[in-house]
């Protein structure tokens, strides 16, 4: 049996499915991201994994031992599996240091002190140890929440949308810090998010969750280049249907723009984006409109342009 295993777990709320039989096997030290839109069952899944929610069917095992749900255990939850909520749950009247050390009240004093020092250093919070949560930035609060959860040396850390209250710059900075911290600690981490881009920055081990079901599992390259469904394909970019085919599609970035050779069209719209211009091109023969990336920012509205693509970039969906 694997280190952490979820076997056919399902959950309904008022007869509506939140999670359909979901199974997962993880090895120790693995770092997994689960990506799904709001309402896809991410928080429900994490709560069941942590023993904080009663499932309708299925079981969770850590190192072969069943994780008991709140109906089966007097005090819900486990020190071995810690869930970090998106709104941090910090003690507002305790300092950064106290927030972390309060987790260790039952531990030997000397050990607790050195553990807190270690975490403050690891998380870059040493200079902020005497501040209260209200005196911290969103990213710093998130790190205190992680420090709290890490204090008891959990085997598994579950992060529920940890970046939802941070801006893009803060998120990217925190992601690179967390990657280092988690790999240093060797903790098994499951992170859920609605944001595919955040997930891709953190790990290459992904599950796409759609309406309580696994839509696809794989590396970023597998999901991007070999999506099994249109839903998965469209998480990465818009897709363009190749005229006169039934189910062949190509991504905007894989379309080549030329002055001759391919399908003729003309630019009907242009959007200036961060790394490229996004063009709408209406194809002449089929009348279909494609979305393509003009990385050279070469074309303007009204231009005639030919589109072509490499056969190996075609996705069959
Ligand atoms: P996510 O975290 O991906 O946004 P959730 O796990 O929170 O999704 O919710 C999955 C589905 O279950 C949603 O349709 C949500 O409305 C429903 N749900 C979640 N918690 C409850 C609850 N306590 N009571 C009733 N329905 C719930
Ligand atoms: Mg949620």
- Tokens 């106290």 — which residue? 98
Buried b (16+ CB within 10 A) or exposed e, 71-87: eeeeebbbebbbbbbbe
Can you say whether the dihedral through the CA atoms of 29, 123, 152, 191 is positive or negative? negative
In short, whether 44's Cβ falls inside 6 Å of ligand 1 is yes
Report which protein residue has its CA nearest ligand 1's atom 14: 39
Residue pair 306/264 in contact by the 8 Å Cβ criterion: yes
Q: What share of the chain is helix, strand, coil (3-state, %, to 5)?
A: 30, 30, 40
Task: Answer whether 240 contacts ligand 1 (Cβ < 6 A).
Answer: no
Q: Which of 9, 10, 11, 13 to mutate to test the pocket of ligand 1 (most atoms within 8 A of CB)?
A: 13
Rounded distance from Cα 42 to ligand 1 centre (Å): 8
Is the minimum distance from the CB of 18 to ligand 1 under 6 angstroms? yes
Q: Which distant-in-sequence residues (6+ apart) come within 8 Å of 249 by Cβ?
A: 230, 233, 239, 240, 241, 242, 314, 315, 316, 317
- Which ranges of the chain have pLDDT less than 50? none
The alpha helices in 58-137, defined as continuous H runs, are 96-101, 109-122
What is the rounded CA–CA span in Å between residue 279 and residue 263? 15
Minimal-distance CA residue to ligand 1 atom 15: 39
Instruction: Give the predicted TM-score (pTM) of the model.
Output: 0.91
C-beta of residue 9 within 8 angstroms of C-beta of residue 58: yes
Output the residue whose Cα is nearest ligand 1's atom 26.
13
Position 181 scores a pLDDT of: 87
Quote the CA–CA distance of 254 and 310 in Å, as a whole number. Answer: 8
Q: Ligand 1 pocket, 42 CB below 6 A?
A: yes
pLDDT of residue 70: 98
What does the pLDDT read at residue 170?
85
Q: How far is the CA of 208 from the centre of ligand 2 (A)?
A: 14
* Ligand 2 ion local residues (Cβ < 5 A): 42-43
pLDDT of residue 185: 83
Q: What is the pLDDT of residue 230?
A: 96
Q: From ligand 1's centre to the CA of 257, what distance in Å?
A: 44
Asked if 98 and 176 touch (Cβ cutoff 8 Å), the reply is no
17 forms bridges with which residues in the sheet? 12
In the block, tokens 């199974």 appear at 23
Work out the angle between the directed axes of helices 109-122 and 168-185 (0-180°, nearest 10). Answer: 130
Between the CA of 161 and the centroid of ligand 1 the distance, in Å, is 14
The gap from C-alpha 95 to its chain's centroid, in whole angstroms, comes to 30
CB of 36 shorter than 6 A to ligand 1? yes
CA distances from 261 to 171, 252, 289 (A): 43, 18, 18
């Amino acid at each position: 049996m694997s280190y952490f295993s979820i076997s056919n777990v399902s959950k309904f709320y008022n007869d509506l499915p939140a999670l359909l039989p979901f199974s997962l096997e993880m090895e120790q030290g693995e770092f997994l991201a689960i990506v799904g839109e709001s309402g896809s069952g991410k928080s429900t899944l994490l709560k069941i994994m942590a023993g904080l929610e009663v499932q309708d069917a299925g079981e969770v095992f850590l190192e072969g031992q069943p994780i008991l749900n709140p109906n089966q255990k007097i005090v819900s939850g486990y020190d071995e599996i810690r869930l970090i909520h998106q709104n941090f749950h910090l003690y507002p009247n305790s300092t950064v240091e106290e927030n972390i050390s309060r987790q260790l009240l039952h531990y030997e004093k000397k050990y607790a002190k050195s553990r807190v020092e270690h975490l403050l250093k690891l998380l870059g919070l040493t200079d902020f140890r005497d501040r209260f949560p209200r005196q911290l930035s969103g990213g710093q609060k998130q790190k205190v929440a992680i420090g709290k959860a890490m204090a008891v040396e959990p085997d598994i850390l579950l992060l529920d949308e940890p970046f939802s209250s941070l801006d893009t710059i803060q998120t990217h900075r925190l992601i690179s810090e967390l990657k280092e911290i988690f790999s240093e600690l060797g903790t098994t981490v499951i992170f859920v998010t609605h944001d595919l881009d955040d997930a891709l920055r953190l790990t290459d081990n992904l599950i796409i969750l759609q309406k309580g079901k696994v839509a696809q599992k794989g590396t970023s390259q597998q999901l991007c280049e070999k999506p099994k469904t249109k839903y998965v394909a469209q998480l990465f970019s818009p897709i363009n249907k190749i005229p006169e085919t039934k189910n062949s599609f190509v991504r905007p970035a894989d379309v080549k723009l030329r002055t001759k050779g391919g399908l003729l069209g003309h630019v009907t719209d242009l959007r200036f984006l961060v790394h490229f211009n996004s063009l709408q091109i209406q194809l002449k023969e089929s009348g279909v409109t494609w979305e393509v990336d003009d990385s050279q920012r070469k074309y303007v509205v009204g231009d005639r342009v030919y589109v072509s693509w490499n056969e190996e970039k075609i996705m069959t969906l």
